[in-house]
Chain A
């Protein structure tokens, strides 16, 4: 309460004397003008008018010394202790890394899309487990292969595709599947190759080794079913083993002690992702 009266310089808040140069009539005048800034000044002065209690200060100082002696000042920063401006909190570097990751994923995504068109040309003819042409298959395959992540983070698609570009000889028979599909389409349009989508036709021709051979090629293929069956049966996406959430996904306030950096994006466990994200914190 107001028991402790000024030990100098301040005034008894009960006396109603002008507060920090503010008299009540000033306040009333200000209020009469609806002068909010002036009112704010008055309120601030009035509410802070009390003298500081030396006992309370000593108590706080003692607590400070005790904590310093006990080493509690080394404690880690929790999210709620981090009052740095937002930009600083997330770290300029981190922001840049995030942007770079985003950019990379866009660029590599573009490469992957481009690869859809060209993959067929690289796989010359022989069927089977080769060129893994389609992007979605490939990324599924990759995420299965690295035994990893829910592949949610924006950057995560990037590494997968990159692997594919460097010629990851995925074991998947996707092109065989594609070719069979092309064959069926070829049948469907009455064996008139020109009616097919030109890329599909081109691929078919290449696979068969010439326009003439397409028909036989397709007959062979559709006759002998399914060298590489299981596009559908492949549950690559079902993999996500170690939940990347962990400590990160906790309610920020309760987390006992993460680290100084407030857990920006997601995981650091995943190897593939790491090169994009780990540069951050």
Chain B
């Protein structure tokens, strides 16, 4: 955790984002578009982990609210990521509540099906590494770990901001993210090993 040199962590673009947000708050439309393009990918990635294929729709809802409340926001680029992530999360939770789906179950099950299982050949495993695959991996984590990982790694929030979005203590969030990543690494590593030998994977459940 906390490696400063990560390209994604703490987003190099945060400075640019902060400027864009400030100008958008003054009414600059082009600046708002810049902010959108900087934020949307991470937001979408996070939402995919929460609501799966509904991510696009939920993101649209979130952006309506973001656009409406933009004037209320105070903070810099990193802060804007946290603020937007909070809004997106609330929209996602609303959606899940409305759907009365078991929180992530539909996403989870579906992705588990797509996940390369113990019987996949290495080639298949190779082919499936992509968003779906990553999503499937993350979907296997307990929810708190999955969210912590997504917010930190995909949205690019730091520990305190992640904690604020989730409404938890920073320590708890740090631990969750760490455990989640460790688990992912283990899983991915275990599958990568199939290349070298016919080892059965005990980990994929």
List A residues at the B interface (Cβ < 8 Å): 1, 4, 13-17, 19, 23-25, 27-37, 39-50, 52-53, 56-57, 59-61, 63-68, 72-78, 80-85, 89, 260
Q: Among B36, B67, B74, B137, point to the contact of A83 (Cβ < 8 A).
A: B74
- In the bound assembly, the distance between CA atoms of A76 and B161 in angstroms comes to 22
A255 CB, nearest partner CB in chain B, Å: 12
Q: Can you pick out 16 interface pairs between chain A and chain B where the beta carbons lie within 8 Å of each other?
A: A16-B126, A16-B133, A31-B187, A32-B192, A36-B181, A37-B3, A39-B188, A40-B6, A43-B154, A56-B60, A66-B68, A72-B68, A72-B69, A76-B72, A81-B83, A83-B80
Task: Take A36-B182, A73-B71, A81-B72 as given contacts and tell me if A64 and B24 are in contact as well, using a CB distance cutoff of 8 Å.
Answer: yes
Residues on the A chain within 8 Å of B70, using CB? 64, 67, 73
Band of interface residues on B: 35 or more
Which residues of B have CB within 8 Å of A15?
A: 130
Q: How far is the CA of A67 from the CA of B69 in the complex (A)?
A: 8
Check if B134 is an interface residue, CB within 8 A of chain A.
yes
B83→A1 contact, CB < 8 A: no
- Known contacts A28-B188, A60-B66, A63-B64, A48 near B32 by CB under 8 Å: no
Q: Give the residue of A4, A57, A83 whose beta carbon is less than 8 angstroms from that of B73.
A: A83
Of chain B, the residue at the smallest CB distance from A56 is B60
0/1 string, B1-26, CB within 8 A of A gives 1: 10101111100000000000000110
Residues of B within 8 A of A1 (CB): 53, 56
Contacts of B33 in A (CB 8 A): 57, 61
Collect the chain A residues with CB atoms within 8 Å of residue B195's CB: 28
